Amino acid sequence: MRVVGKKNWIIPDCELPPEGDGVLKGHESVVIVNDSAKTAVIKVKLYFTDKKPYDGITWLVEPQTVKCFRMNNVEHMCGFIVPLETQYAMKLESSQKIVVQYGRLDNRQTNLAYYTTLAY
């Protein structure tokens, strides 16, 4: 079986928006597909412009599944509270090849913005 993906990913443009008052709540998410036959153990490291990196986050994605992690969910972030409206970057190092997609919904304006992109 040819497994799709790679083991190291960088998401350079992260910034968690506030949830806001709309029906659709502002958020960031990382969606991971594990195409392999083994559980992917993913070490997450956050880089900030004005403080030392944080690397106390580990995610698990079961084989042949997809899982979404929300940056505003403290459980998903292993107890770390991502600061709102703060630029940061994220590095993912996986034990298995994975595919990573990043998305952000920002509803701070009336024409809410949602975008998604593959990480690198």
Report the chain (120 residues): mean pLDDT per 10 consecutive residues: 94 87 80 98 97 97 98 96 95 98 81 70
pLDDT at site 99: 97
- Note the pLDDT of residue 79: 97
Nearest one of 15, 27, 9, 1 to 87, comparing CA atoms:
15
Q: What residues have CB less than 8 Å from 73, skipping those under 6 apart?
A: none
Can you give the pLDDT at residue 112?
64
The domain 6-16+33-100 having CATH identifier 2.60.120.260: the answer here is: no
Q: Would you say the pTM of this structure is higher than 0.85?
A: yes
Give the start-to-end residue ranges of the domains of the chain: 6-16+33-100
